[in-house]
Amino acid sequence: MSAQRVGILHPGDMGVSIALSALDTGCEVYWASEGRRPQSQQRAAEAGLRDAGTVARLCELCPVLVSVCPPEFAWDVARRVIATGYKGAFADINALAPEEKIAMAREMIAHGIRYADGGIIGLPSRTPGETTVFLSGPAADETAVCFAKGAIGARVMGPEPGRASALKILFAAYNKGMIALQTELYAAAQRYGVFDELQGQFVHRGLSLEKIVLQITRAAPKAWRWEPEMHQIATALEKVGMPGDFHQGAAEIYRRLAGMKDCSKLTLEQVLAELQRNSPPSE
């Protein structure tokens, strides 16, 4: 029996992490170099991925495809796959709202493709237990087996698309919402001249200042892509009758930090200065 073949569209940092998990499980992992940057080619080659050349050829070769890309390209990727006449399993593990995944499932299934909705909780990782892909939908089981022995495990949440991305989005709503709130309150405390006293209260209530600083300084370089994610979360919450305001506020904080895209080794002082610089003056 030959190894299961899995196609990854497209191997960025997270995509490579996912691909390595499939390789460790014994799968043959393919990608399509067509139209990708030389940087991506090098990364894919180093990870041991096989190049199918085109998306059309990738669809011929692989009975399981995993879409992992910036969320704004998720629909393009899905429609390019449909256009090839593909009839295998397709897992979209991008950060879209549950409603969008359900709509995508409907479109895929209408074209004879087995669909899995997926949500990743965690960062690209080679350490088992840190990061999990949650999957729900008709193709959840057959996708999950491709990752059974890798560092990034897969957990099946039943046959209904939407549940995996609901979990992902609600956990992100907590985690990224919290970080935005703490960033905002630190910046407001600077303006009110009570920064040290607020930190004192956080310590008194058992919070770790080191952890808060790490969270804020690691979030700022990703703020440019967390801003649209916060808007998506707000929409998803409003769909079930909950206020979207929290995450509109979080989106605004990340919008003001978007200029720190891909900056490394930031300090808390730098992040708060950037936030103050992009905030309107006090009344």
If one asks whether residue 103 binds its own copies (CB under 8 A), the answer comes out as no
Closer Cβ to its own copies, 26 or 200, answer by number: 200
Measured CA to CA, the distance from residue 186 to residue 47 in angstroms comes to 41
Residue choice 106, 126, 191, 218 for contact with its own copies (CB under 8 A) = 191
Q: Could you say which residues in the range 233-272 bind its own copies, by CB under 8 A?
A: 236-246, 248-250, 252-253
Spatial contact of 62 and 6, defined as CB atoms under 8 Å apart: yes
Measured CA to CA, the distance from residue 132 to residue 147 in angstroms comes to 10
If one asks whether residue 184 binds its own copies (CB under 8 A), the answer comes out as yes
Quote the least distance from Cβ 164 to its own copies, whole Å: 9
- Give the strands of the sheet with 28-31, arranged side by side: 50-51, 28-31, 5-9, 64-67, 89-92, 114-121, 132-136, 153-156
Closer Cβ to its own copies, 33 or 143, answer by number: 143
Quote the least distance from Cβ 41 to its own copies, whole Å: 35
Closer Cβ to its own copies, 43 or 247, answer by number: 247
Cβ-based burial of 269 (10 A; exposed 0-12, middle 13-18, buried ≥19): exposed
The mark string for 53-92 relative to its own copies (x by CB under 8 A, - otherwise) is ----------------------------------------
Closer Cβ to its own copies, 3 or 192, answer by number: 192
Quote the least distance from Cβ 158 to its own copies, whole Å: 9
* Contacts (Cβ under 8 Å, ≥6 apart) of 155: 132, 133, 134, 135, 144
Residue 21 CA: distances (Å) to CA of 29, 67, 88: 10, 15, 20
- Contact range with its own copies by CB under 8 A, out of 17-25, 76-84, 157-165, 220-228: 157-165
Quote the least distance from Cβ 239 to its own copies, whole Å: 5
Strands (E), 106-248: 114-121, 132-136, 153-156
CA-only gyration radius of the chain, Å: 20
* Contacts (Cβ under 8 Å, ≥6 apart) of 42: none
Q: Which among 225, 124, 121 is positioned nearest to 167, based on CA atoms? A: 121
If one asks whether residue 150 binds its own copies (CB under 8 A), the answer comes out as no
Measured CA to CA, the distance from residue 85 to residue 243 in angstroms comes to 41
If one asks whether residue 221 binds its own copies (CB under 8 A), the answer comes out as no
If one asks whether residue 106 binds its own copies (CB under 8 A), the answer comes out as no
Binding interface with its own copies (CB under 8 A): 98, 121, 134, 157, 160, 162-163, 166-167, 170-171, 173-175, 177-178, 180-182, 184-185, 187-189, 191-194, 197-198, 201-202, 205, 236-246, 248-250, 252-253, 276, 279-283
